[in-house]
Amino acid sequence: MTATKESYLQSMLHGELTWVVGEQYVQTDDADKLGHSIDYYWVPEVWHDRGKELTPPDFVVHPGSAKEVAEVLRIANNYKIPVVPWGGGSGSQGGALPIHGGIILDMKRMNRVLSVDTVSLTATVEVGINTQHMEWELEKRGFSSMHLPASIACATLGGFIAHRGTGVLSTKYGKMEDMIMSLEVVTPTGEIINTLPVPRHASGPDLTQLFLGSEGTLGVVTKATIKIHPIPECRKFHAFLFPTMHAAMAAGAKIMTSRLRPCVIRLYDEPETAHLIKRVLGIDREGAYLVFGFDGQEEMVDLEMKQACALCREQNPEDLGTEMGQTWWDNRYKFFYPPYMFHMPQAFGTLDTVATFANIEKVYWAMKNVVTENFPQARFIGHFSHWYEWGCMLYARFIIDEPPTDPREAIALYNKIWDMAIRAAIREGGVINEHHGVGLKLGRMMKDLYGPAFKVLQDVKAALDPNNIMNPGKMGFPGGNR
């Protein structure tokens, strides 16, 4: 049952929601509903672009506290209607779309930095906070979250927690799952719980990690204690142009397996070097561009930088120096916005995945071959942006400049590319996704990835959310009510 079918039911619900959050925080007009019907997922974008109607929520509710969230969830359970948490709506996987109608829980009113612990270097914040605002608040106090994603200005901390998101400095400061100390969560049945105050313990399994990456399917995250960092004394960059991606990968892997600690390494394959690096940095030569940076105390930075450069030179690259590294850093967000970013009518997908150093190039080639051999209309480019001691993340993209004009045909083609590319990645040791999440886009492949282990996740979902109200139909979980 969804609320749209019966107007008296809508009216009852409207009244109850209003009692909880106040009249001005329950929106039902068409503009508000439309704004909460589309995120950064290409499928609803093309649907909308071609004049088709989106699926709106019945209500957009703006809670001001965990208690209000809990009350809203209790109402939703009574009527068995869906609730979908909404942060900035910048997600690329359709995670926040109200595909079964119901209540959108827009978290942006919960946007305060509540406290900063300057002894332990942690901060406790409400997770509806815009990540750029959070960073500015911390910088005013002399600290940084070191979470600097390309969507810093249009996303909330809650969205990143829900997607295990990542920022440009993840190689040193970690992904979202490394940045969190503890969480406050409202469970689907409306209990407000806190996970343990520290992220390392032997007191049973880690509940914090259960909710990280749960994409609004296991509850609503309302508060987080995050790690914060002093602003580093300096941050320096260096860039090289390698003859091949393979040679550059060998250098990047050597930097990581030598246990140097760059804050960033980014390696662009030859086509993306030609496409993007040429346009943004003006480097008009063939090869694979690799940039890295170190930050911290200058003496240490200089030493690590010297060692990393020496490891790179073993592969005989062209030394582009510090300026071509610094220019990349200064332009780091530019790559993700017009005119450099792809947009309608182009079809494009970010096939991000992660694998060990032993497998990552196999994953790259498997994805690239499957896309270019089966879909001659598609281009394939990629870079490697988040590096670990054991492997790195591939941010691959397919682009079709002129997809079919019929949206159904365009979506069918789009999904076919996704299915074949992701399955190729899984076969070679990759995963469905590294930091954008699963959402509506990739839920159908969760069983392929997890095998029988997916039942464990399904059982957790069923136990925590008996009426299946939380974000139904996402992450491979069933849509509608049980």
Ligand X SMILES: Cc1cc2nc3c(=O)[nH]c(=O)nc-3n(C[C@H](O)[C@H](O)[C@H](O)COP(=O)(O)OP(=O)(O)OC[C@H]3O[C@@H](n4cnc5c(N)ncnc54)[C@H](O)[C@@H]3O)c2cc1C
Q: How far is the CB of 210 from ligand X (least distance, A)?
A: 12
Distances (CA, A) of 282 to 270, 285, 291, 443: 15, 9, 15, 40
Interface with ligand X by CB under 6 A: which range of 143-151, 231-239, 408-416, 441-449? 143-151
Q: Is 473 in the site for ligand X (CB under 6 A)?
A: no
Selected binder of ligand X within 87, 101, 213, 252 (CB under 6 A): 87
- If the CB atoms of residues 95 and 403 are measured against ligand X, the closer one turns out to be 95
Place of tokens 């988040």: 386
Residue 44 touching ligand X (CB under 6 A): no
Judged by CB under 6 A, the stretch of 11-19, 150-158, 358-366, 372-380 that binds ligand X is 150-158
C-alpha radius of gyration, the chain, whole number: 23
Nearest-angstrom CA–CA distance, 55 and 33: 9
Which of 236, 266, 397, 436: binder of ligand X (CB under 6 A)? Answer: 436
127 binds ligand X (CB under 6 A): yes
Residue whose C-beta lies closest to ligand X: 159
Using alpha carbons, list the distances in angstroms from residue 25 to 32, 59, 166.
11, 10, 31
- By the 8 A CB rule, do 207 and 464 touch? no
SS3 for 384?
strand
Q: Residue 86, interface with ligand X (CB under 6 A)? A: yes
Indicate the burial class of 314 (C-beta count within 10 angstroms; 0-12, 13-18, 19 or more).
exposed
Q: How far is the CB of 35 from ligand X (least distance, A)?
A: 11
Nearest residue (CB) to ligand X, 15 versus 480: 480
In whole angstroms, how close is the CB of 315 to ligand X at the nearest point?
A: 28
The Cα 123–Cα 99 span in angstroms is: 35
Q: Which of helix, strand or coil describes residue 51?
A: coil
Q: Is 280 helix (H, G, I), strand (E, B) or coil?
A: helix
**Cβ-contact 248, 240 below 8 angstroms:** yes
Rule CB under 6 A: is residue 82 a binding residue for ligand X? no
Q: Please identify, using beta-carbon distances, which residue of 336 and 365 lies nearer to ligand X.
A: 336
**31 or 202: whose CB is closer to ligand X?**
31
For residue 447, how many other CB atoms are within 10 A of its CB? Answer: 14
Binding mask 347-366 for ligand X (x = CB under 6 A): --------------------
Query: Where does residue 55 rank: exposed (0-12), middle (13-18), buried (19+ CB within 10 A)?
Result: middle
Out of 38, 46, 155, 226, the residue judged to bind ligand X by CB under 6 A: 155
Instruction: Tell the smallest beta-carbon distance from residue 211 to ligand X (Å).
Output: 8
SS3 260: coil
- Binding residues among 156-195 for ligand X as defined by CB under 6 A: 156, 158-160, 162-163, 165-167
* Contact flag: residue 88 with ligand X (CB under 6 A): yes
Angle between helices 7-21 and 66-79 (to 10 degrees): 160
Distance CA(424)–CA(400), nearest Å, equals: 19
* Site membership for ligand X, residue 39 (CB under 6 A): yes
Q: Does 336 bind ligand X (CB under 6 A)?
A: yes
Instruction: For ligand X, give the closer residue by CB, 325 or 439.
Output: 439
- Site residue total, ligand X (CB under 6 A): 37
Is residue 435 near ligand X by the rule CB under 6 A? yes
- Taking CB under 6 A as the criterion, the residue among 129, 220, 354, 396 binding ligand X is 220
Among the listed residues 3, 20, 46, 107, the single contact to ligand X using CB under 6 A: 107
Distance from chain centroid for Cα 42: 15
Q: Site mask, ligand X, residues 449-468, x = CB under 6 A? A: --------------------
Residue 104 corresponds to which tokens in the numbers above?
């959108």
Q: Enumerate the β-bridge partners of residue 229.
A: 144
29 Cβ contact list (under 8 Å, min separation 6) = none
DSSP 108: G
Which residues would be at the binding site for ligand X (CB under 6 A)? Answer: 39-40, 84-92, 95-96, 107, 127, 149-151, 155-156, 158-160, 162-163, 165-167, 215-216, 220-221, 336, 435-436, 439, 471
